[in-house]
């Protein structure tokens, strides 16, 4: 019983990293400090979609590159308006060239929402309300593996979880982010 929160968190994590849902995207604004090429990642950060800066009233999107590219191409001494960014480590982004001014920045990213196990604000979460069976079967898979359950039953739970993930992917990656007026209805095969 004490491991129930672990099973729920495990299922949530598998869902967050398997399905691209608009509900799990967030924007934050911040600013760079002149002569500091690092920017702290938000605590709930999972992956970035885009980063833009404002310079002289103009908004410019930075291109995401590998850290090695930034360090080799720009070195430690170049300063100016950033053009590129990368995730440097688990706590920081790095940009190049190094900001020559306190540029305003906006980060659009995929975030980890509060878990159902911490009570969220209303005692429910988006997943527990809108994808309860994905959460249930994901939790059952982890729980039954922990209990060293029968392989055939684990496979059944895994299949049910996979079916629910597929339905969630259909919603999140086909229906949720398309415009039926200009794009027509989604053309992905429904399951």
Q: What region does 123 belong to: left with phi over 0, alpha with psi -120 to 50, or beta?
A: left
What average pLDDT does this structure show over 5-28? 88
- At a CB cut-off of 8 Å and minimum separation 6, what does 130 contact? none
Residue 103 has pLDDT above 50, yes or no: yes
Percent of the chain past pLDDT 90, that is, above it, reads 41
Whole-structure pTM over 0.75, yes or no? Answer: no
Q: CA of 54: how far to CAs of 62, 93, 111, in Å?
A: 11, 17, 23
Band (pLDDT 50/70/90 cuts) for residue 120 is: low
**119 — pLDDT class (breaks 50, 70, 90):** low
Contact indicator for 139, 8 with CB cutoff of 8 Å: yes
The whole-number average pLDDT for the span 160-181 is 74
- Mean pLDDT across the stretch 83-95? 93
């Amino acid at each position: 019983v004490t491991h129930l929160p672990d099973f729920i968190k495990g299922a949530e994590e598998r869902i967050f990293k398997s399905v691209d849902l608009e509900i799990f995207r967030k924007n934050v604004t911040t600013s760079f400090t002149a002569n500091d090429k690092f920017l702290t990642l938000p605590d709930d950060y999972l992956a970035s979609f885009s980063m833009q800066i404002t310079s002289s009233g103009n908004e410019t999107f930075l291109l995401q590159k590998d850290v090695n590219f930034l360090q080799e191409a720009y070195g430690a001494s170049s300063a100016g308006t950033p053009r590129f960014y990368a995730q440097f480590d688990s706590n920081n982004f790095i940009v190049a060239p190094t900001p020559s001014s306190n540029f305003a920045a906006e980060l659009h990213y995929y975030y980890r929402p509060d878990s159902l196990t911490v009570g969220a604000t209303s005692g429910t979460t988006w997943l527990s309300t809108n994808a309860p069976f994905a959460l249930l079967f994901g939790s059952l898979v982890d729980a039954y593996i922990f209990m060293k359950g029968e392989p055939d039953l684990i496979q059944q739970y895994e299949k049910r979880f996979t079916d629910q993930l597929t339905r969630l992917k259909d919603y999140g990656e086909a229906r949720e982010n398309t415009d039926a007026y200009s794009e027509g209805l989604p053309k992905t095969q429904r399951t």
